[in-house]
Amino acid sequence: MKGFVIALLICSLVICDQNAIFLNETYYPGFISVNEKSDLFYILLESRSNPSTDPLVLWLNGGPGCSSLLGLFEENGPFKINEDATLRSNPFSWNSNANLIYVDQPVGTGYSHAGHGDLAKTEEQVSKDFYSFLTQFFDKYPQYLGRDFYITGESYAGQYIPAISQKILKEKNPNINLKGIAIGNGWVDPYYQQPAYAEYAYVNHLINQTQYKKLSAQFSICQVFINYEAPYRLQEYFCGPPYQQIVGNNTFNIYNIKSPCIGNGCYDDQDDRIYKFLNRTDVQYLLGTQGRIWSACEDNVSNALQKLSYRSSTQDLKVILNSGLKVLIYNGSLDYECNYLGNEKWLDNLEWNKQIEYLKQSYSYVFKGHKIIGKQKSAGNLKFQIIFDAGHMVPMDQPEIALEMINSFIQQ
């Protein structure tokens, strides 16, 4: 059965009313059904520059099961949330030169609803649902048909983005003009990223040499069970304890080792502000989300995908790179959870048609004026960039640099 779009009565036939609560940004909220029982919630924000010609950029948060509205309000959207649950403008929003869309996915995430038995258990199901969303989105907003389209995101989106992009390439839909993808601090290949926990902790003086040697040996065993695609419970049995030995015996913020950790998620104060804002009656009226309760992350969505915790998305990335699509992999240098050492390792070992050329490249510094702000290397259509003094959420920690980075990637 063809999906349908739930229209929002609060909006006119052309655009949603600009209003003071959303600081007079032009925005389009809505739900798109992906089957008879489940839907995905989105917010589309028009470009502040040239909405009729600027590209369309999609942002996805990870988790799995965490709302992309976290990215909207904490990272790269046009709003920041004040302590009193009101908004202030973000001058470094990614809609400065692009039309920007945030989607709560997979089904069951954030404002999105999952019918009984509809929670995604595979990346194939995630990509199938999202492709259904995209085809209907372009039907609803035909002004974006054929427009340059980029998929961006962070963390577990390192699994989502390759799966979704590979699905788009496979379908060969001329209306979806995918130009490139950008993955920030991504969870892509656990075989290489698990051992990097010990290496990163040692390099940053979070553990001593004796601990490092012991943990490295444990992670080597972990790699064996990942390599042989052992059942999840065995992978977790051998990979979970060494990770917990590092984070359990320390009080550092796993998302930014130089920032304080507030609450279990380290950013609970910010998440609480978003929760209060999105569950305000007047805000839900404007978004058309009455009767739904927003949450930052949904355990049931995460649990449904749990068995994929040690899955690699590199097979999809090979297809994407070999197709010629632009690929940006970026990392904040202060992130422990999906640290740059692990991403560096899987990138070096990725077998694609420009691998030899990539391995020959050395890092070059990235400057902002006379200040070194990071380093990068590239070959062909692949770029790897490390941003200094930023953690897991690069657009939150270094908003101006992140905006320049994404604009440069789109314009190259």
Report pLDDT digits (tens) over 314-324. Answer: 999 999 999 99
Task: Let me know whether 278 and 166 are in one domain.
Answer: yes
Please report the pLDDT score of residue 24 as a whole number: 84
Instruction: Report the percentage of the chain scoring pLDDT > 70.
Output: 93
**Residue 244 pLDDT > 90, yes or no?**
yes
**Residue 76 pLDDT > 90, yes or no?**
yes
Please report the pLDDT score of residue 412 as a whole number: 87
Task: Let me know whether 356 and 221 are in one domain.
Answer: no
- pLDDT, mean of residues 54-58: 99
Please indicate, yes or no, if residue 103 is contained in any of the structural domains: yes
d(CA 69, CA 406): 19
Domain boundaries, position 345 = 17-189+268-411
**Residue 196 pLDDT > 60, yes or no?**
yes
Of 1, 7, 4, 10, nearest to 284 by C-alpha is 10
d(CA 159, CA 232): 17
Contacts of 14 (CB under 8 A, 6+ apart): none
With contact defined as beta carbons under 8 Å apart, do 48 and 78 qualify? yes
Q: Which residue has the higher pLDDT, 9 or 184?
A: 184
Q: The domain spanning residue 375 has which CATH number?
A: 3.40.50.1820
Task: Let me know whether 216 and 151 are in one domain.
Answer: no
Please report the pLDDT score of residue 8 as a whole number: 42
Strands (E), 195-286: none
**Residue 290 pLDDT > 60, yes or no?**
yes
Structure tokens at 381: 């259509």
Task: Let me know whether 81 and 207 are in one domain.
Answer: no
Task: Let me know whether 272 and 358 are in one domain.
Answer: yes
Please indicate, yes or no, if residue 163 is contained in any of the structural domains: yes
Please indicate, yes or no, if residue 204 is contained in any of the structural domains: yes
Please report the pLDDT score of residue 36 as a whole number: 86
| pLDDT tens-digit map of 92-106 | 999 999 999 999 999
Residue 88's φ and ψ, nearest 5 degrees, are -130, 160
How does strand 99-104 pair with strand 371-379? unpaired
Please indicate, yes or no, if residue 287 is contained in any of the structural domains: yes
Task: Let me know whether 238 and 321 are in one domain.
Answer: no
Q: Which residue has the higher pLDDT, 248 or 409?
A: 409
d(CA 259, CA 276): 24
Task: Let me know whether 222 and 284 are in one domain.
Answer: no
Task: Let me know whether 317 and 397 are in one domain.
Answer: yes
Q: What is the mean pLDDT of the chain?
A: 92
If 0-12 CB within 10 Å is exposed, 13-18 middle and 19+ buried, where does residue 151 land? buried
User: Within a 10 A sphere around the Cβ of 45, how many other Cβ atoms?
Assistant: 25
Task: Let me know whether 162 and 200 are in one domain.
Answer: no
Task: Specify the pTM.
Answer: 0.93
- pLDDT, mean of residues 218-238: 97
**Residue 228 pLDDT > 50, yes or no?**
yes
Active site residues: 155, 335, 392
Task: Let me know whether 227 and 302 are in one domain.
Answer: no
Please report the pLDDT score of residue 345 as a whole number: 98
Number of domains in the chain: 2
Q: Which of 22-26, 178-182, 402-406 has the lowest mean pLDDT?
A: 22-26
Q: Which residue has the higher pLDDT, 10 or 410?
A: 410
Task: Let me know whether 171 and 202 are in one domain.
Answer: no
Please indicate, yes or no, if residue 260 is contained in any of the structural domains: no
Please indicate, yes or no, if residue 11 is contained in any of the structural domains: no
**Residue 205 pLDDT > 70, yes or no?**
yes
Please indicate, yes or no, if residue 291 is contained in any of the structural domains: yes
| pLDDT tens-digit map of 2-43 | 443 443 434 433 345 556 788 888 999 999 999 889 999 999
d(CA 347, CA 289): 41
Please report the pLDDT score of residue 10 as a whole number: 41
Task: Let me know whether 84 and 185 are in one domain.
Answer: yes
Please indicate, yes or no, if residue 181 is contained in any of the structural domains: yes
pLDDT band at 265 (very low <50, low <70, confident <90, very high): low
